[in-house]
Amino acid sequence: MLSDKIESLLNLQIRREAESAQIYLAMACWAEVKGLEGVAQFMYKQSDEERMHMLKLIKFINERGGHAKISELKAPNITFKSFQEMFKELYDHEVFVTNSINELVHETLQQKDYTTHNFLQWYVAEQIEEEAMARTILDKINIIGDDKSGLYLFDRDIQQLSVTSSASNSLE
């Protein structure tokens, strides 16, 4: 059984995961109309992944005797000065989500809710990967600078981007 406080924090995390999905979706739309098809496809995929993170939380709350709640969402930014600015915003958002997950994990330990703590370890590992991916992308963007041919190659290659973080179970 979930405490009221843990249930409330988990519901807040549902909202944050839903907003993450919306942020990625807005970025996909922006990239697509700018002709960055690879970036758009990458963002659509990430949006779907964030929605799955949200659904996983919903199922967990309901299975543990709580009531998952779907709330209003803050509208995401829909325009960007550049694709560099967009990816910097993405990275900053992933850091925000990581901090949110960490606060939730801390509260589960304070309340000795080891079941929820164990469940959240997947999110902790996932955020390590999300931040590593965003940081890798920013590094590549900084290498490209204002080079249009570099942007073309980046747009083509981002669809295959995968980052293996130290939290990953396999060393492929």
- Interatomic CA distance for residues 53 and 129, integer angstroms: 14
The annotation status of 172 as a binding-site residue, yes or no, is no
H runs (alpha helix) in 111-161: 114-144, 148-157
Q: Which of 141, 122, 170 is nearest to 31 (CA)?
A: 141
Percent helix, strand, coil in the chain, to 5, is: 75, 0, 25
Which amino acid appears at position 71 of this protein? S
The annotation status of 127 as a binding-site residue, yes or no, is yes
The annotation status of 94 as a binding-site residue, yes or no, is yes
Residues belonging to the binding site for Fe cation are 17, 50, 53, 94, 127
Known binding-site residues equal 17, 50, 53, 94, 127
